[in-house]
Amino acid sequence: MPGKGKAEALVDAIADSEPISGLTHNIYRYPGRFSAVFARAAIEAFSDPGDLILDPFVGGGTTLVEASALGRSSLGIDLNELAVFVSQAKTTLLEDLRLSELLEWGLRSFSRLRLRARDAQISHPRHPKHVCSRDSWRIWRCIETALEITGELRGSGEKRLATCAILDAGRQVFDGPKALPSVDRFRSILQESIHHVCEGASEYSTKVQTQAERTGLTLKELQPGCRQGSAKDAVGILDSTSKGIPKLILFSPPYPGIHVLYHRWQIQGRRETSAPYWIIGSKDGNGASYYTMGGRKEAGIEAYFCSLRDIFRSLAGVSNRDTTIVQLVAFRDPCAHLSRYLSIMEENGFSELTVSMRGQLGKRAWRDVPGRRWYNHGSQRIAAKRREVLLVHRLS
């Protein structure tokens, strides 16, 4: 276990409810991401500069951003191509000169997006469902045009960040808001997004450069890797990178029986669309249960725990006795599901280390998650505040 000071910092970080900010964390708000403060505290508590950090459910890339900013090597894995793209964008290292050029290009290019007279309402079969409705087609044409002009950019890093800015602007207007903005307002949102992306990427790149100088590591060593794949395949994926054994495996997996839309936007809070995949140039033909390791019904929960057994068998294969596994997990039915979860970890050779939080449940550290709404297998909504538990394990 870490020293008392670092353990206390980790417990304090679990309870942190401040909005995620700094570096590139707010470039795209991926569903279900955990606090950067928590990730930072866990990395500092259980690893040293130069160590390898693994996140087998990388999501929005929080672990990777914090790991490289703290002078650690890191690798992320995720089934979701959207998660991989967002994580790669957030960990793009660019010099300030190139970021300044990207910002100038974005402010100039996005301001001149115009709908031409010959443009009409469109519903092309290659467009994602629901984005070309009577109310939204004008904004979608702006997104199409913005994506087309990213071809003017020369570097792959610049193109990735520009696309991520467009993705983030699309999420802001399509994913949830009841009313869509005007075209003029959307152009402003695009400009605000490219400014935010460049500002975050500059702060991140500077931080990583400082760590490289301080630790004697190269930027290549601190550049996170991110692979699409299943956590079940962690052994093969890690072997292919030649990165060695991780000192810390830090993640928040999908929660059994709890529904989160990792792969869709909900236009005006209702109709689901695969628009984010279209924007990043990817295809997505998978349902929600693919990304949550099962559905909300009992059969889905059984599938979840079956997958979990394979995942922890794989994580045991990439660990040694010095590897710490740190997780934040929640359960629809904590009494039944937590014991089953821990039993599967024990089957695969992991023993729990207790990090207690005074005044909370038992000896484990729990935290309330404010403002997050989860759904059960029926039509009713679970309470807005749910509880997550910190689990810390090592091989026996």
CB 69 within 8 A of CB 201: no
CA distance 290 to 228: 14
Q: What percent of the chain has pLDDT over 70?
A: 88
Whole-number Å distance between alpha carbons of 166 and 183: 14
**CA distance linking residue 83 with residue 253, whole number of Å:** 13
The SS3 assignment for 302 reads helix
Query: pTM, whole model, 2 decimals?
Result: 0.92
What type of residue sits at position 280? I
- Provide mean pLDDT across the span 160-174: 96
Mean pLDDT of 72-96: 97
**DSSP secondary-structure letter at 91?**
T
Let me know if 309 is exposed, middle or buried by CB neighbors in 10 A (0-12, 13-18, 19+): middle
Q: Any idea which architecture 4-91+224-259+295-395 has in CATH?
A: 3-Layer(aba) Sandwich (3.40)
Q: What is the pLDDT of residue 118?
A: 47
Decide: 386 and 330 in contact? Cβ < 8 Å: yes
Contacts (Cβ under 8 Å, ≥6 apart) of 80 = 228, 262, 263, 291
DSSP 3: -
| Cα angle value 6/12/15 (rounded, 5°) | 145
DSSP string across 111-148: HT----TT------TTSPTTTTSTTTHHHHHHHHHHHH
Q: Which residue has the tokens 């402010």?
A: 107
Q: Which residues pair with 52 in a beta bridge?
A: 73
Amino acid at 95: E
For residue 281, CA distances in Å to 123, 126, 148, 189 come to 18, 11, 12, 21
pLDDT digits (tens, 9 = 90+) for 183-229: 999 999 999 999 999 999 999 999 999 999 999 999 999 999 999 99
**Residue 379 or residue 393, greater confidence:** 393
- Report the pLDDT averaged over residues 108-126: 64
pLDDT at position 7 over 50:
yes
125 Cβ contact list (under 8 Å, min separation 6): none
pLDDT band at 288, cuts 50/70/90?
confident
First CA to last CA distance, the chain: 14
CA angle, corner 274, sides to 311 and 294, nearest 5? 30
Q: Where in the chain is the domain with CATH 3.40.50.150?
A: 4-91+224-259+295-395
Q: Are strands 366-369 and 386-395 parallel, antiparallel or unpaired?
A: antiparallel
What sign does the dihedral 1-8-328-275 (CA atoms) show? Answer: negative
Instruction: Give the separation between CA 372 and CA 368, rounded to whole angstroms.
Output: 10
3-state secondary structure 158-199: HHHHHHHHHHHHHHHHHECCCCCCCHHHHHHHHHHHHHHHHH
Best-predicted range by mean pLDDT (12-26, 75-89, 268-282): 75-89
Q: In the chain, pLDDT over 90 holds for what percent of residues?
A: 64
**Model confidence at 329, in pLDDT bands (50, 70, 90)?**
very high
- What is the DSSP code string of 21-88? -STTTTSS--TTPPPHHHHHHHHHHH--TT-EEEESS-TTSHHHHHHHHTT-EEEEEES-HHHHHHHH
At 176 the pLDDT is 83
